[in-house]
Amino acid sequence: MNAKITLIPGDGIGPEIVREASAVLQKVADVFGHSFTYEEVLMGGCAIDACGVPLPEETLKTARKSDAVLLGAVGGNVGNSRWYDVAPNLRPEAGLLGIRKGLGLYANLRPAFLYPELSQACPLRKEKADAGFDMVIFRELTGGLYFGARRTVVREDGLREATDTLVYTEEEIRRIAVKAFDAARLRRKKVTSVDKANVLDSSRLWRAVVNEVAKDYPDVTVEHMLVDNCAMQLVLNPAQFDVLLTENMFGDILSDEASMITGSIGMLPSASLGEGRMGLYEPSHGSAPDIAGKDVANPLATILSAAMLLRYSLGLEAEAQAVENAVAQVLKEGYRTGDIMSEGKERVGCRSMGQLVRERIEK
């Protein structure tokens, strides 16, 4: 098949990890006989430096014309005044929020499971790590606090006051819930919907709409959990979760927590999807400016994001599995980047890790 892929390396370690992951895509194309073309565009801090804005019009245009977008990471040290002493809508992260919204990618899938090979890196007690877990978070990505009106004013009494607004429409809740239930059907058939319905109106609407959607999925068990309890349950008994469905801000926080119990945030891919097949794929971690350019970053989250790209945007399931198998194989053979290093294993850099995965991709 022919596919057009937009590459957005971004900032920090972004260029290194996208280089390895796009080379993995090319290896898949060679082995399976596909033809992928790549177009590289700017977003984030590098776009601010080159064009004065974090999301140039050109970037959005190129992304819209492609079948899928592979993104590294954006942003830098908050001490970087060129990027951060400006209005929030001009900071590197605004590029990321802008492209998610601009492409209508409202469903953010973040799988979190424990590779048996990495159970030593799991910070939970041994018996919990040994029990394993395998969940996927469905985070709503284009609504809620991230996109509601905000303002900071100085009141008449001289005190500053800041407001952020949490808005959800019934439609926004329904479409992400449908995606979560569809996914649960293909997994262990359980949806845990997370909210704060004991306090928030938006959460009460969330719960009501999820219950309405659940009626169409009698084969899927639905359960509601308050977000504070969920934060606790994730470390107490992660094996209970299959599909975890939640709004934007709760999903941001819970997905970092879920990723950490897998041993390293350097392992976790993500997919952001909308109505069609086009999607944006990025590691769940950030740009790690402190280790940028040193060839020590873990490219596996980005490589696994490329596997999700093959699966969801291109419909190439066998190819996606070939990449995932290659990653599992490399781990089994004992190769580790610094973040997942443990005793007796062989430490490798970003480039070698990418190379090792590519060598193990087969039809």
- Judged by the rule CB under 5 A, the positions of this chain that interact with Mg ion are 252
83 and 95 in contact (C-beta within 8 Å)? no
Alpha carbon distance 114, 122 (integer Å): 8
339 and 286 in contact (C-beta within 8 Å)? no
Q: Which two tokens stand for residue 161?
A: 């006051």
CB of 78 or CB of 153, closer to ligand IPM: 78
**Applying CB under 6 A, does 93 fall inside the site for ligand IPM?**
yes
130 counts as catalytic: no
Rg value, the chain, Cα? 20
**Applying CB under 6 A, does 11 fall inside the site for ligand IPM?**
no
192 and 167 in contact (C-beta within 8 Å)? no
Catalytic residue among 106, 146, 168, 281: 146
Q: Which residues touch 303 (CB under 8 Å, ≥6 apart)? A: 20, 21, 24, 323, 327, 354, 357
256 counts as catalytic: yes
Part in contact with ligand IPM (CB under 6 A); list of ranges 90-98, 236-244, 293-301, 338-346: 90-98
Work out how close the CB of 252 gets to Mg ion at its nearest, in angstroms, rounded to a whole number.
Answer: 4
**Applying CB under 6 A, does 96 fall inside the site for ligand IPM?**
yes
Q: Which two tokens stand for residue 186?
A: 């293909």
Q: State the burial class of residue 309 (Cβ atoms within 10 Å of its Cβ: 0-12, 13-18, 19+).
A: buried
Strand 279-283 and strand 269-273: the pairing is antiparallel
Work out how close the CB of 110 gets to Mg ion at its nearest, in angstroms, rounded to a whole number.
Answer: 9
**Applying CB under 6 A, does 99 fall inside the site for ligand IPM?**
no
Question: Which one of 242, 252, 319, 339 is in contact with ligand IPM (CB under 6 A)?
Answer: 252
201 counts as catalytic: no
Amino acid code (one letter) for 145: L
Catalytic residue among 67, 196, 217, 339: 196
**Applying CB under 6 A, does 257 fall inside the site for ligand IPM?**
no
**Applying CB under 6 A, does 308 fall inside the site for ligand IPM?**
no
Nearest residue to 279 (alpha-carbon basis) of 96, 138, 6, 68: 68
93 interacts with, out of ligand IPM, Mg ion, none, CB within 5 to 8 A per kind? ligand IPM
Nearest residue to 174 (alpha-carbon basis) of 247, 112, 121: 247
CB of 3 or CB of 73, closer to ligand IPM: 73
Catalytic residue among 195, 252, 312, 339: 252
Part in contact with ligand IPM (CB under 6 A); list of ranges 18-26, 92-100, 153-161, 191-199: 92-100
**Applying CB under 6 A, does 40 fall inside the site for ligand IPM?**
no
Work out how close the CB of 149 gets to ligand IPM at its nearest, in angstroms, rounded to a whole number.
Answer: 18
Measured between alpha carbons, how far is residue 18 from residues 122, 211, 283, 324 in Å?
26, 40, 10, 17
Work out how close the CB of 50 gets to ligand IPM at its nearest, in angstroms, rounded to a whole number.
Answer: 20
CB of 75 or CB of 299, closer to ligand IPM: 75
CB of 192 or CB of 259, closer to ligand IPM: 259
Nearest residue to 28 (alpha-carbon basis) of 313, 282, 319: 319
Would you tell me which residues interact with ligand IPM (CB under 6 A)?
A: 93, 96-97, 252
Q: Which residues are catalytic?
A: 146, 196, 228, 252, 256
